[in-house]
Amino acid sequence: MPDAIAESEEQLLEQLQKAAFDYFIEYVDVTTGLVADTSRKGSPASIAVVGFALSCYPIGVERGWITRADGAAQTLKALRFFWNSPQSSKADVTGYKGFYYHFLDMHSGRRAWQCELSMIDTTLLLAGVLTAAAYFTAPTVEESEIRALAEALYRRVDWQWAQNGHETVAQGWKPECGFLQSCWEGYSEATILYVLGSASPNFPLPANSFAGWTSTYQWESIYGYDFLYAGPLFIHLFSHAWIDFRGIQDEFMREKGCDYFENSRRAVSIQREYAARNPLGFIGYGPNLWGITAGDGPGNEELRESGRDRRFFGYTDRGVPFGRDDGTLAPWGMVAALPFSPPSALTAVRHMMERFPDICAGFRLSSSFNPNLVDQGGWISDGYYGLDQGIVVMMIENYRSGLIWKLMRSSPYIASGLRRAGFAGGWL
């Protein structure tokens, strides 16, 4: 149950952002600097969550929530861990070819479960690493080491190996079976992957790699909006946490007279249109309550309620307008949409907090909730996910000050990667 919802926008955002930021203080391993994937007991670390944490520390410093020295120390701990951890093709190490396994044991830092070496999660980690390098620019020993390690970690990643002989990058690799069969098809959160891969000094992705990926895009007019389609909302948010896409265009967007920022704004509009239509008749949906995306869910269950047969899912891809949709909403998705459509996002957040106060304990937002499953009193995701907290902190900051966007604009690899991928115009 949250405290009273602040009337001022600034105060509300401060409350939400600080509560999310604290996740990275509470769930970090003091030795390795790794951050837990979720707040649930026994959760392994997620390398993507570490990437978000590294991006949030500068925000914490600027907001006065931690000191610069603490932020640098925490950052350095994680960077040293990643640089010194074992890299090989063996099954129980930390990474291979500069990439890292998606989940790592919080304490030993070794591969957790039998998870995959993840190209996109390594990208999100590297985005955090480069954010840290762009922020900690003081000529101190610690901050100099941060920059040196960031450079070394970035240079070590063998993006060309990750192509596995193809134009585009594979999604993952396992020592047990090699590259995974799944591949990137259609617009996704991988824009930042191609930007960072293209700028690599040692193993750059070839020029045709990004174009090969964009050739699988779907440009559609849906609900009257011309739009680069992707169903789950997070796809329209993640790369934008780091890269300011306002006014810069690649070849695809030049052709369409749009840009990726505007596209995300339209994605929010389509979420609202879908929720207003609410074709499956879920409780709560409306133009001011949306946020249908990949994430946790109530679990695989079939029920009959509200005069309909219902199917619910666990952790899965949800999206609009083609599905999946089981009535599960992601509160953080509405907050993270703030830079694209401030009135829509702010209204939705207030509406959600007023109508479903239980999803926001102490202003920290649950990963997802489902007000259906009426007999069970609805469902709220247990605990918190680091990814959600990270993007809330970053997107609120981008809305409030543009800090992360400004930092990443100054990163030479972001700028050169964007140019190599064919972006031009605007701040580039």
Q: How far is the CB of 287 from another protein (least distance, A)?
A: 3
Q: Give the list of residues 6+ apart from residue 41 with CB closer than 8 angstroms, or none.
A: none
Question: With respect to another protein, which residue has the nearer C-beta, 51 or 331?
Answer: 331
Q: How far is the CB of 107 from another protein (least distance, A)?
A: 25
Asked whether 330 and 367 are in contact (CB, 8 A), the reply is yes
Q: How far is the CB of 188 from another protein (least distance, A)?
A: 11
69: tokens are: 């020295």
Question: With respect to another protein, which residue has the nearer C-beta, 157 or 346?
Answer: 346
In whole angstroms, what is the distance from residue 272 CA to residue 233 CA?
11
Contacting residues toward another protein, per CB under 8 A: 114, 174, 176-177, 180-183, 185-186, 215-216, 218-226, 231, 255, 257-259, 262, 269, 272-273, 276-277, 279, 286-288, 304, 307-309, 311, 321-324, 343-344, 346-348, 351
**Sign of the alpha-carbon torsion through 52, 202, 100, 180:** positive
Question: With respect to another protein, which residue has the nearer C-beta, 21 or 179?
Answer: 179
Q: How far is the CB of 232 from another protein (least distance, A)?
A: 12
CB burial class (10 A; 0-12, 13-18, 19+) of residue 387?
buried
In whole angstroms, what is the distance from residue 156 CA to residue 171 CA?
18
388: tokens are: 């959600």
Question: With respect to another protein, which residue has the nearer C-beta, 143 or 262?
Answer: 262
Question: With respect to another protein, which residue has the nearer C-beta, 90 or 311?
Answer: 311
Q: How far is the CB of 325 from another protein (least distance, A)?
A: 10
Question: With respect to another protein, which residue has the nearer C-beta, 114 or 376?
Answer: 114
Q: How far is the CB of 221 from another protein (least distance, A)?
A: 5
Question: With respect to another protein, which residue has the nearer C-beta, 64 or 176?
Answer: 176
Q: How far is the CB of 343 from another protein (least distance, A)?
A: 5
DSSP string for 67-128: -HHHHHHHHHHHHHHHHHS-BSSSTTSSEETTEEESEE-TTT-PBPTTPPEEHHHHHHHHHH
Asked whether 160 and 83 are in contact (CB, 8 A), the reply is no
Q: Give the list of residues 6+ apart from residue 57 with CB closer than 8 angstroms, or none.
A: 24, 66, 71, 74, 75, 132, 135
